[in-house]
Amino acid sequence: MNGLVADRVGKNAVLSGEQQDNVQVACYYFGNYHPGDPRNEAMKGGGWTEWELVKDARPRFPGHAQPKIPLWGYEDESDPAAMERKIAAAADHGIDAFIFDWYHYEDGPFLDRPLDRGFMGASNNDRLRFALMWANHDWLEIQPYRRGEPELVRFPGVVTPDAFERIGDLVVDRYFLHPSYWLVEGCPYFSFYDLSKLLAGFSSMKEARVALERFRDKTRAAGFPDLHLNAVVWGRAVMPWQNTPVDGAKVVEELGFDSVTSYVWFHHVDLPDLETDYNYVRDGYFGYWDEAKKKFDRPYYPNVTMGWDSSPRTHQDDEFGNFGYPFTNTISGNTPARFRRALELTKERLMDAPPAQRILNINSWNEWTEGSYLEPDTVNGMAYLEAVRDVFGASKSNEVAVVAAR
């Protein structure tokens, strides 16, 4: 076994053993708030970032709280100095890991700079773990989307088997071997967002399973005990590219995934009203969680969602309503106090799980254009982050340096 990897795995085991009463808190990170991405430059022009949609958002119905204004300003997340502030705030407020929405298509990467330049260049990246969720969905022209326009697929999510092999090599070499990569029971955590797109790249379920086993082999060859494969499973069709979700339980079983999770409550709970109450959605999601624990013969890592309002991704001159993503109903009443209560209830339920399975993810660190973010804004300041800290304490990853020194 690679000596440096073995050392990391050993420290991870010690740390996990010392945290049996704790919960590991991960947070999704969506990286489209930086200039200079080559694909964005070609589509939108020089200097464009998704901050433009945040700035342009306006109220679309009475009482609609738009625009959202970031307390830290419209910063460049690919700048290591900006990322250092994010890492410090996350670690200080109970976040253990960022799960980056990671994009890689047949012809190369997209939105990789926040991780490759920002996080990996940050001087304090030892304070936080990071992991990848391969956002392997079609990239549509929805920034912004004008109602009624034909769906335009900019980058297809399906990749060929040869590309899958190349991407696996890249992930192991560039990311898994980084000292801050998140390990679950000593194994690098790697998640797939869209099981249907994963399967579509192969001729059969068997061929897909073989490709995933080769991915595991690459990970073991790098010195890890194994690869922790996680599947994001949807409860209902939401996005324009979907018809009906795949049979998640069957795919998870046949492809040999190690765990299952969710990305956002909206993927499991209908929003019946233009302003659907936060606690209504929370309780609906908890019902799904109960079903998921029975349905999947794997650990299920729950999600806590801060909010939902995808109106910034719609053309601001269009009528707003529940016409199909990004024209959807919203979540309202998602105060910091209610968010904190959702975290408390989730923690209570998680404590029934074995210690190694006490993992949750939060949507999201910075989904500003979907109305679900922990980064501070000018209305609530640090209140959502403070809610995480109050429930879970400061990041357990801060103890890694102490463990390493023993």
Separation between Cα atoms, residue 32 and residue 112, nearest integer Å? 9
Q: CB burial class (10 A; 0-12, 13-18, 19+) of residue 43?
A: middle
* CB proximity list for 1: less than 8 A, separation 6 or greater: 9, 223
What is the rounded (10 degree) CA torsion for 299, 300, 304, 305? 140
pLDDT in tens, 235-252: 755 544 455 566 788 999
pLDDT score recorded for residue 405: 29
Domain boundaries, the chain: 3-404
Checking if the pLDDT of 65 tops 70, the result is yes
pLDDT score recorded for residue 15: 52
Checking if the pLDDT of 234 tops 90, the result is no
Checking if the pLDDT of 17 tops 90, the result is no
Share of the chain above pLDDT 70, in %: 90
Residue 25 host element (H or E): strand 24-29
pLDDT in tens, 21-34: 689 999 999 999 99
Length of the chain: 406
Separation between Cα atoms, residue 263 and residue 372, nearest integer Å? 11
Local structure of 240: helix, strand or coil: coil
Checking if the pLDDT of 4 tops 90, the result is no
Token pair 């209140």 in the structure block, residue: 383
Cα angle, residue 187 at apex, residues 181 and 193 outer, rounded to 5°: 75
pLDDT score recorded for residue 5: 77
CA 368 to chain centre: 13
Separation between Cα atoms, residue 322 and residue 328, nearest integer Å? 4
Separation between Cα atoms, residue 289 and residue 261, nearest integer Å? 10
Separation between Cα atoms, residue 160 and residue 354, nearest integer Å? 38
pLDDT score recorded for residue 237: 55
pLDDT score recorded for residue 401: 36
- Tokens read off for 324: 């199909």
Q: Residue 13: pLDDT band by 50, 70, 90 thresholds?
A: low
pLDDT in tens, 346-380: 999 999 999 999 999 999 999 999 999 999 999 99
Residue 338 host element (H or E): helix 336-350
Task: Put residue 333 in one of left, alpha, beta given phi > 0 → left and psi -120 to 50 → alpha.
Answer: left
The angle that helices 383-392 and 80-92 make with each other, rounded to 10 degrees, is 50
Q: State the sign of the Cα–Cα–Cα–Cα dihedral 194, 196, 202, 206.
A: positive
pLDDT in tens, 187-231: 999 999 999 999 999 999 999 999 999 999 999 999 999 999 999
Residue 392 host element (H or E): helix 383-392
For residues 100 and 131, the answer to whether their CB atoms sit within 8 Å is: yes
* CB proximity list for 118: less than 8 A, separation 6 or greater: 31, 34, 77, 78, 79, 80, 82, 83
pLDDT in tens, 253-308: 999 999 999 999 999 999 999 999 999 999 999 999 999 999 999 999 999 999 99
pLDDT score recorded for residue 14: 46
Q: Residue 140: pLDDT band by 50, 70, 90 thresholds?
A: very high
Local structure of 217: helix, strand or coil: helix
- Tokens read off for 127: 């304070």
pLDDT in tens, 329-344: 999 999 999 999 999 9
Domain topology for 3-404: TIM Barrel (3.20.20)
pLDDT in tens, 150-175: 989 999 999 999 999 999 999 999 99
Q: Count of H helices and E strands in the chain?
A: 13, 17
Q: What pairing do the DSSP bridges indicate for beta strands 97-105 and 366-367?
A: unpaired
Token pair 């996680």 in the structure block, residue: 230
CA atoms within 13 A on the CB side of 221: 10
For residues 64 and 311, the answer to whether their CB atoms sit within 8 Å is: yes
Share of the chain above pLDDT 90, in %: 87
Write down the H helix ranges in 256-330. 278-295
* CB proximity list for 137: less than 8 A, separation 6 or greater: 157, 193, 194, 197, 239, 241
Mean pLDDT of 63-68: 98
Checking if the pLDDT of 100 tops 70, the result is yes
Separation between Cα atoms, residue 217 and residue 229, nearest integer Å? 13
* CB atoms inside a 10 Å sphere around CB 41: 13
Separation between Cα atoms, residue 402 and residue 53, nearest integer Å? 42
Tell me, what amino acid is at 267? H
For residues 202 and 231, the answer to whether their CB atoms sit within 8 Å is: no
pLDDT score recorded for residue 406: 26
Tell me, what amino acid is at 127? R
Identify which of 40, 273, 237, 231 has the alpha carbon closest to the alpha carbon of residue 136: 231
Separation between Cα atoms, residue 72 and residue 366, nearest integer Å? 12
